[in-house]
Amino acid sequence: MYGFEALTFNIHGGYLEAIVRGHRAGLLTTADYNNLCQCENLDDIKMHLSATKYGSYLQNEPSPLHTTTIVEKCTLKLVDDYKHMLCQATEPMSTFLEYIRYGHMIDNVVLIVTGTLHERDVQELLEKCHPLGMFDSIATLAVAQNMRELYRLVLVDTPLAPYFSECLTSEDLDDMNIEIMRNTLYKAYLEDFYKFCQKIGGATSEIMSDLLAFEADRRAVNITINSIGTELTREDRKKLYSNFGLLYPYGHEELAICEDIDQVRGVMEKYPPYQAIFSKMSYGESQMLDKAFYEEEVRRLCLAFEQQFHYAVFFAYMRLREQEIRNLMWISECVAQNQKSRIHDSVVYMF
Amino acid sequence: MGESRGGGCCPPMDLMRSETMQLVQLIVPMESAHLTVSYLGDLGLVQFKDLNSEKSPFQRTYAAQIKRCGEMARKIRFFKDQMSKAEVLPKELLEKESDIDLDDVEVKLGELEAELVEINANNDKLQRSYNELMEYKLVLQKAGEFFSSAHRSATAQQREIESEDSQQAGDDLLESPLLQEEKSVDSSKQVKLGFLTGLVPREKSMVFERILFRATRGNIFIRQTVIEEPVIDPSSGEKAEKNVFIVFYSGERAKSKILKICEAFGANRYPFSEDLGKQAQMITEVSGRLSELKTTIDAGLGHRNVLLQTIGDKFELWNLKVRKEKAIYHTLNMLSLDVTKKCLVAEGWSPVFASNEIQDALQRAAVDSNSQVGSIFQVLRTKESPPTYFRTNKFTSAIQEIVDAYGVAKYQEANPGVFTIVTFPFLFAVMFGDWGHGICILLATMYLILREKKLASQKLGDIMEMAFGGRYVILMMSLFSIYTGLIYNEFFSIPYPLFAPSAYDCRDASCSEATTIGLIKVRDTYPFGLDPVWHGTRSELPFLNSLKMKMSILLGVSQMNLGIIMSYFNARFFKSSVNIWFQFIPQMIFLNSLFGYLSVLIIIKWCTGSQADLYHVMIYMFLSPTDELGENQLFPHQKTVQLVLLFLALVSVPCMLLPKPFILKKQHEARHQGQSYAPLDETDESLHVETTGGSHGHEEFEFSEIFVHQLIHTIEFVLGAVSNTASYLRLWALSLAHSELSSVFYEKVLLLAWGYNNVFILIIGILVFIFATVGVLLVMETLSAFLHALRLHWVEFQNKFYEGDGYKFAPFTFIFTANEDE
């Protein structure tokens, strides 16, 4: 399984791995979050962040600040870091880094399409898109009326094109369709990414398989929970699950026939890694599930840093940064809306 | 603590040991706190301790003020940005200190910012419509060209077809019925074709065209023309390369699609009419409005420049003020608030000599702020190790930097910097001995020194900055290399009989230049340095090598001895007799019984002119010490002396290793016992002694750790004595390399070129020689000799005594470096 990565990895990947590990040291720690949670207003948050890597991105923002500004600037920093790494990368790492973006691309496509369906302004929608998932002709998505057009007009030029092969229908777009499209795309994306990582081999494939399997299983659970009580048939539901992961294939059979959250729980508790997540929750509750999954994900991502000479650190780092920005957004919102008692509800600590 | 330095007989040597420091406590009433900190900042002799380290930045007392300052700093950055865009330079700060109120500054900054933002917004609006008109004009021109050319070719084609038609009407009807049909359809459909014109960014133009094609299933006709000069985009205000496009389509659905795509691609559309007359009219109209707008914009810009000019006049003043205030509030945040909330308590380090000045500053602050209560100044006793502070001047600071780069001296430990001032340039010069090169470096550094004032005020490049910072070190280095160059008698590798003619002369005509055989001594020995007659002879290298090698060992042994003697001074200063008896003395004996003895042998050999082989003597002193020396004997009873020295060296090793850990253990136990039974009032005293004694206080005493440490230390010293002495041979090696390189450049470049008797070749030869001398010898060789001298000081000299685990005194001061905020 292990090749001699240690021997040759540093030729192309050494510099970037050093960079990403340096970046990792800049992630906000529990102490930082504790301090941030004590902030009285957004200016306090800015002041605290001025001592971190976000400092230079926030320092020229006039007060009063808004939560969106903070999130926007932090995301900008993430994108700048990502672009810096991307332009230093060589094959196959550059492809690997590109893969990290595709998830955001899918989200952006869905966002724009849903937005146009509800007749929102395209510019407004574009601002809401995640900058990592931007591609040239994204604004043109608004023109499309159905999936086939969507594919033929715009997406055929993007890396997402191959993922579309499974959801080419001439039906007009509606909310349900779009959601199915998102999940089908995601399924195709995860499977493709999984295959790519297997191709790279070595520690990368080993660690990424674990991370992606977790991602796939989480999506499967979410799809199941969200589709309870909708007209999605069992067969259709099962089609949306990715064909790998811990739950594949027997877990999928069982998930497909679940009718309420407790049944999902029953299925999941058969799998030891997920047992811990579900055992934290009381019966019938699904609110805390997201946080529990996030915490588990962060724990796994942090473990990726324990090994050297593999690409999974880049994936882990990007994911952790996204989680960090989510945390900052939550804290800022709580502070801005004077809901400090709820501040700990959704913050996931790392390291 | 108040140890007198230097000793009774000598004048005090400031650089030898750190200034005595004290931990002071200031209790300052709230109302005068700001002024007090400001005065102390001017004084720059107090290093405040952070007493609120457990609090996060925004929980501290003056967080609000810091935020205010941050906001003001942001505005100032905004002004700076705007000024550099408008190319307005801020005026140099002339008056040293003019008292301005922070609140006034804040109000003023706010007003100016609002005004500037408004002007900018207005200008942007005007600029945007100006840019739009510019684009419109371009569209009118380019699309007009397209239409007229299309028209021309269309009419020409029409005519052609008509003439062809009339010629072969009959057969054509059969051969190409479709063409005929098309023509008839064309004329009927032409009316329904709509079109859109506009500009699209060039890098998106291909995708734009492709998407349009796909969206309308190919039912469009698009034409693009490149605009040569970049156009300013109205919405972003940045220059962009764009294409003018014109799209023909049919049908309303296609139109709505095209409109959406245009919007998505950020393509600006402009109305256009087919009618030529209307086009011309529009062009004139647009041009008229353009010139109108231009004047308005110019007026707006003028107004803005005036405003920026007024900002520029005060800019530096405000900038300094805001940064000062921010620093003051940061410092105030480090002070702890008294329980009564009426005064602030500060703790910090300051040199003892500054006590009066600090008290004076406190008093002035109290008076100036009309405070009813004065501030309280008191000295605290502490176990913490104080920071190290050397008062350096511009000459010694660079040398001190060299030492500090290795490690900042432990508090009051002997500072190697004192000796480094002389030994560093000297060792450099031993490796770089050429008085011609020395003069070149001297001239360069004199330039830096003479223009010191001017250069210090401006920003220099990275490398220049380094050379400027070390200008006095370089000065010393150049002076010493002139000195050693005179000893080596080398001027760009050429010897000169400067002090007297050579002592040797040819006995008869048979002696050639390449050998010293046949030379006889005709005069007194050459008075200073190397006799020039050695140069170029066959025995030059063996002679110089032997000289330089032995000299390196002598220099090395003496510098290492100096290092060990320094450890004696340290031990005496910190009153550690263990270190004197079981570290200093055995080390001295060990080093000198081996390499000190070698040095003595070298000197004896030089004085007596003996033929003895010193390698042999040294090696067989270990291998078979009882053997007879034979012809290698240099002085009577040499064998006995050697046996005694060998014995001493062997005995001194266990002396270094064993006693110290046991004595330390005993001392620790004794102290521990004494403490537990001592009366309370004495503990304070004993604690105090401990800090000055430099022992480990209440730390856990781990015997095994101490022993292993001592073991490592001993092994390091014993092995180091050999390897360090060998390491000093680099003095010989580098000096050899230097003289060989320079003689190669001289002989193989300059003399060779000279031999051709050709002016052209000569000029090239001289140029190559100059570049080689400057590039290789003056720059690279200087650097390498510098690095080797650095290593000899850091490793061979300083490891004999220097701990270097202190931390530097960093007082709170207003002398900001220029790029601190950036």
SS (H, E, C) B264-289: HCCCEEECCCCCHHHHHHHHHHHHHH
* Residue-by-residue DSSP string for B416-469: THHHHHHHHHHHHHHHT--HHHHHHHHHHHHHHHHTHHHHHHS---HHHHHHHH
Give the integer Cα–Cα distance in Å for B164 and B155. Answer: 14
pLDDT at B509: 64
Cβ-based contacts under 8 A for chains A and B: 61
Give the integer Cα–Cα distance in Å for B135 and B271. Answer: 12
| B7 has a pLDDT exceeding 70 | no
Nearest residue to B51 via CA among B336, B327, B386, B348: B336
What does the block give as tokens for B485? 């160059």
Tell how strand B376-380 and strand B194-201 pair up: unpaired
pLDDT at B548: 93
Give the integer Cα–Cα distance in Å for B339 and B240. Answer: 63
Q: In B, residues 195-234, which contact A (CB 8 Å cutoff)?
A: 204, 207, 210-211, 214-215
**Residue numbers in A near B74 (CB within 8 A):** 59-62
Is A38's CB within 8 Å of B56's CB? yes
Q: What strands lie across the sheet with B242-249, from one edge to the other? A: B221-226, B242-249, B194-201, B268-270
Is B263's CB within 8 Å of A157's CB? no
* Residue-by-residue DSSP string for A106-152: HHHHHHHHHHHHTT--HHHHHHHS-GGG--TTGGGGGG--BHHHHHH
Spell out, as residue ranges, where chain A has pLDDT lower than 50. 1
B556, B550 Cβ separation under 8 angstroms = no
Give how far Cα B647 sits from Cα of A43, B584, B615, B657, Å.
Answer: 75, 18, 20, 16
| B235 has a pLDDT exceeding 80 | no
- The predicted complex's ipTM stands at 0.72
* End-to-end CA separation in angstroms for chain A: 29
What is the rounded average pLDDT of the residues B714-732?
93
pLDDT at B127: 87
| Share of residues in chain B with pLDDT > 70 (%) | 88
Say yes or no: B59 contacts chain A, CB-CB below 8 A. Answer: yes
CA angle B370, B376, B378 (to 5 degrees): 160
Question: How much is the pTM?
Answer: 0.72
DSSP code for A172: B
B86, B80 Cβ separation under 8 angstroms = no
Q: Which residue has the tokens 């050998």?
A: B515
Which among B59, B74, B257 is the nearest to A143, CB-wise? Answer: B257
Mutate which of A56, A59, A143 to test chain B, going by most B C-beta atoms within 10 A? A143
Q: Which residues of B341-368 are buried (b: 16+ CB within 10 A; e: fewer)?
A: eebbebbbbbbeebeebbeebbeebbee
B193 Cβ neighbours under 8 A, 6+ residues apart: B248, B249, B250
| B337 has a pLDDT exceeding 90 | no
pLDDT at B184: 44
| B92 has a pLDDT exceeding 60 | yes
What does the block give as tokens for B663? 């004595």
β-sheet bridge partners, residue B201: B242
- Helices A312-336 and A93-117, interaxial angle, to 10°? 40
CA of B209, closest CA in chain A: separation in Å?
12
**Residue numbers in A near B214 (CB within 8 A):** 152-153
Say yes or no: A37 contacts chain B, CB-CB below 8 A. Answer: no
Q: Which residue has the tokens 């920071």?
A: B387
In single-letter form, the type of residue at position B562 comes to L
Backbone phi and psi for residue B247, each to the nearest 5 degrees, phi listed first: -120, 130
Count the Cβ atoms, other than its own, within 10 Å of residue B14. 17
B795, B23 Cβ separation under 8 angstroms = no
What is the rounded average pLDDT of the residues B749-778?
90
- Name the band, by pLDDT with cuts 50, 70 and 90, for residue B512: low
- Name the band, by pLDDT with cuts 50, 70 and 90, for residue B563: very high
Q: Which residue has the tokens 């801005």?
A: A336
Give the integer Cα–Cα distance in Å for B80 and B104. Answer: 19
B329, B62 Cβ separation under 8 angstroms = yes
B347, B331 Cβ separation under 8 angstroms = no
β-sheet bridge partners, residue B296: none
- Name the band, by pLDDT with cuts 50, 70 and 90, for residue B96: low
Distance, CA of A110 to chain centre: 14
In single-letter form, the type of residue at position B8 comes to G
Dump pLDDT digits (tens) for B112-170.
Answer: 888 888 988 988 888 888 888 888 888 888 877 777 777 777 777 777 776 665 555 44
Locate the chain A residue with the closest alpha carbon to B54: A35
Is A137's CB within 8 Å of B211's CB? yes
CA angle B223, B209, B199 (to 5 degrees): 60
Nearest residue to B36 via CA among B276, B415, B362, B327: B362
Strand, helix or coil for residue B388: strand
pLDDT at B185: 43
- Name the band, by pLDDT with cuts 50, 70 and 90, for residue B756: confident
| B684 has a pLDDT exceeding 50 | no
Say yes or no: B257 contacts chain A, CB-CB below 8 A. Answer: yes
Strand, helix or coil for residue B597: helix
Average the pLDDT over each of A315-319, B137-141, B491-495, B596-600 and give the range with the smallest value: B137-141
Which among B56, B215, B263 is the nearest to A48, CB-wise? Answer: B56
B287 Cβ neighbours under 8 A, 6+ residues apart: B137
Give the integer Cα–Cα distance in Å for B362 and B32. Answer: 9
Locate the chain B residue with the closest alpha carbon to A154: B211
What does the block give as tokens for B727? 């390491």
| B8 has a pLDDT exceeding 80 | no
**Residue numbers in B near A331 (CB within 8 A):** none
CA of B58, closest CA in chain A: separation in Å?
6
**Residue numbers in B near A143 (CB within 8 A):** 215, 257, 260-261, 264
- Name the band, by pLDDT with cuts 50, 70 and 90, for residue B600: very high
B130 Cβ neighbours under 8 A, 6+ residues apart: B290, B293, B294, B297
**Residue numbers in A near B78 (CB within 8 A):** 60
**Residue numbers in B near A153 (CB within 8 A):** 211, 214-215
Q: Does the bond joining A273 to the residue before it have cis omega, within 30 degrees of 0?
A: no
Give how far Cα B509 sits from Cα of B154, B512, B671, Å.
Answer: 106, 8, 84
A181, A189 Cβ separation under 8 angstroms = no
Nearest residue to B354 via CA among B306, B409, B391: B391
Average the pLDDT over each of B229-233, B446-450, B496-500, B799-803 and give the range with the smallest value: B229-233
A241, A220 Cβ separation under 8 angstroms = yes
Backbone phi and psi for residue A242, each to the nearest 5 degrees, phi listed first: -70, 145
Mutate which of A52, A124, A137 to test chain B, going by most B C-beta atoms within 10 A? A137
**Residue numbers in A near B257 (CB within 8 A):** 143
Give the integer Cα–Cα distance in Å for B504 and B526. Answer: 9
Say yes or no: A80 contacts chain B, CB-CB below 8 A. Answer: no
